[in-house]
Amino acid sequence: MFGYVSINPQALTEAEKRRFRAFYCGLCRVLREAYGNVGRLTLSNDMTFLTLLLSALYEPDEQAYDERCALHPVKPHHAVTHACTRYAADMNILLAYYKCLDDAADEKSLRGKAGQAALKKAFMRVRADWPVQCQTVQESLAALTELEKAESTDLDALTRQSGRMLGACFLWRQDAFAPYLREMGDALGRFIYLMDAYEDYDADEKHRRFNPLRALHAQPDYEERMEEILTLEMSRCARAFECLPIQQDAGLIRNVLYSGVWGGYARLKEKRKEKQA
């Protein structure tokens, strides 16, 4: 589920790029403090974005650090943490654990099994603190697995489960903002699932693995339909965001939603064009 949520650095000021990096380093710091180096290995831009979003919405007090670490031993780097960072770290562990679980089951991956074992203790702590999110992710992943095993052609049913997982993870609090945050997570989760399938399509065909886009790929307007569906999901996500009373870091968040998430898609389309040339 990780890897498609990022910034577009070319459209940001240097200050905005440093700001995003500070949230990334802050999440890394909290993962290390809470779960050790194994936690830090799960660090992702996806949950950095969640940290940024929740911080902009709830505006908790920030703690700033300038420090060196094992990954940056020479030059001090700036890190920002706050009350939302630990929640994002916990959701990072939750999603990473289930990704390892899914990899171990679907691909008999030794890496997946090793990751599952390494993260189990951390996951148990997260489950104790956030049982609703963990239950939702577990149920949705189980439903998604059954659909994929049956090689379902119902793309909406497949993406619905991925959306439900991330939608649950976006809910730090049950308050008036929760419906909009859930909608953002749901749409982003669907987008990520579709992007993952789009990227993996050729490899899945080569190795005769199920891919949810197989039926759509057979259509002559596949590329146009794919872009239309992805645009629809990100439009839903952006529309929900615009309903939230966010001013702090709003430009940085919009950079991710309106530009950054499309970077991977643009690169994949270019690769496909080169193969066809």
For the ranges 85-94, 113-122, 128-137, the lowest mean pLDDT is seen at: 113-122
Structural domain includes residue 174: yes
Q: How many CA atoms lie within 13 A of 39 on its CB side?
A: 24
pTM of the predicted model as reported, rounded to 2 decimal places:
0.93
Decide if 6 is inside a domain: no
Mean pLDDT of the chain: 92
**Which domain, by its residues, includes 197?**
130-251+261-277
Three-state SS for 239? helix
Mean pLDDT calculated for residue range 146-151: 94
In this prediction, residue 261 has a pLDDT band, given cuts at 50, 70 and 90, of: very high
* pLDDT tens digits, one per residue of 103-128: 776 666 677 678 788 899 999 999 99
User: Is 187 part of any domain?
Assistant: yes
Question: What DSSP character marks residue 125?
Answer: H
**Between 111 and 162, the higher pLDDT residue:** 162
User: How many separate domains does the chain show?
Assistant: 1
Contacts of 58 (CB under 8 A, 6+ apart): 83, 84, 172, 173
- Please name which of 74, 169, 158 lies closest in space to residue 130, comparing C-alpha atoms: 169
Say how far apart CA 231 and CA 247 lie, in whole Å. Answer: 24
pLDDT at residue 267 is higher than 80: yes
| Strand pairing report for 77-81 and 63-67 | antiparallel
For the ranges 89-103, 151-165, 223-237, which has the lowest average pLDDT? Answer: 89-103
| Residue 116 maps to a domain | no
175 part of a folded domain: yes
Residue 1 has pLDDT above 60, yes or no: no
Long-range contacts formed by 166-169: CB under 8 A, 24+ apart: 166/1, 166/192, 168/132, 168/133, 168/136, 168/137, 168/140, 169/50, 169/91, 169/94, 169/95, 169/133, 169/137
| Residue 81: C-alpha distances to residues 61, 224, 252 (Å) | 9, 41, 17
In tens, the pLDDT along 15-60 reads 999 999 999 999 999 999 999 989 988 998 999 999 999 999 999 9
**HSE-up of residue 99 (Cα within 13 Å, Cβ side):** 17
pLDDT at 68: 77
Which of the 8 DSSP states describes residue 41? T
| Cβ–Cβ under 8 Å, residues 12 and 33 | no
Query: Considering the domain boundaries, does residue 20 fall inside one?
Result: no
The answer to whether 81 and 63 have CB atoms below 8 angstroms apart is yes
Domain-located, residue 152: yes
Domain assignment of residue 75, yes or no? no
